[in-house]
Amino acid sequence: MREIVLTVILCTAVMAVKAQYPGYKLLADPSAFQTQFATASQKTNTIKSDFIQEKNLSLLAEKIVSKGKFWFRKENAIRMEYTQPFQYLMVINGSNVYIKDSQKENKISTKSNKLFQQINKIIIDCVNGRALQGNDFKVRIFEGSTAYLAELSPVDKNLKTFFSHVNMIIEKKDYAVSRIEMHEPSGDDTSLQFVNRQFNTPLADALFAIR
């Protein structure tokens, strides 16, 4: 089960300089940003995009780069389809998760595992913007020239064993999340960049079906 949980974390997708990030300045009062971001998130019902995933592991000199397709539908449905350099599929629909690779497939209900349920919620919340609300994270907002950086430090001690913090890059032009960075306590990290994004296009139910 732990291996499956880690797989979900790494799919979604550098140690942080806690005092500051190059090119960004800490917002003393992020209320205006939070209002604009919440408004944009409420208007986003679906997302379709390509993605580029980069994984930095301390044991490897070069980063691992993967590419694929991404779909999101409000409230809680995600499909990630890896196409390069291997084929891999993950579907999250409500409390159910489906994972398939070239050798096997797994169907999981997060209702049977509280930690898995929390991680499932975090992945969804990072995409739809709800991660900046509630009490799951301690949040700090930084402003750059073209984007905001939201630093999310987990409060739950169990989640802290999986990652030290999550960073969300939010574009100023549309207040949409363009990049998610998940940092592990070991110093390894995985980033997920969304490119060629399309918002509020119709998505078929079959994309999120778990049979």
Dig out the tokens for 73 from the structure: 């539908």
pLDDT tens digit string along 10-48? 444 333 334 468 999 999 999 999 889 988 888 999 999
pLDDT at residue 58 tops 90: no
- CATH number for the domain spanning 65: value is 2.50.20.10
pLDDT at residue 7 tops 70: no
Considering only the C-alpha atoms of the chain, give the largest distance between any 2 of them, rounded to a whole number of Å: 50
- Average pLDDT for 105-132: 75
Spatial distance between the Cα atoms of 132 and 130, rounded to a whole number of angstroms = 5
User: What pLDDT does residue 71 have?
Assistant: 95
- Average pLDDT for 70-89: 91
Q: At what angle do helices 114-128 and 2-11 cross, to 10 degrees?
A: 0
User: What pLDDT does residue 20 have?
Assistant: 67
Number of domains in the chain: 1
Spatial distance between the Cα atoms of 155 and 144, rounded to a whole number of angstroms = 26
Tell me how far CA of residue 4 lies from CA of 16, 65, 98, 174, 200, in angstroms: 26, 20, 10, 34, 31
Q: Whole domain around residue 196: which residue ranges?
A: 2-208
- Average pLDDT for 82-95: 90
User: What pLDDT does residue 15 have?
Assistant: 34
pLDDT tens digit string along 165-184? 999 999 999 999 999 998 88
Q: Give pTM, 2 decimals.
A: 0.82
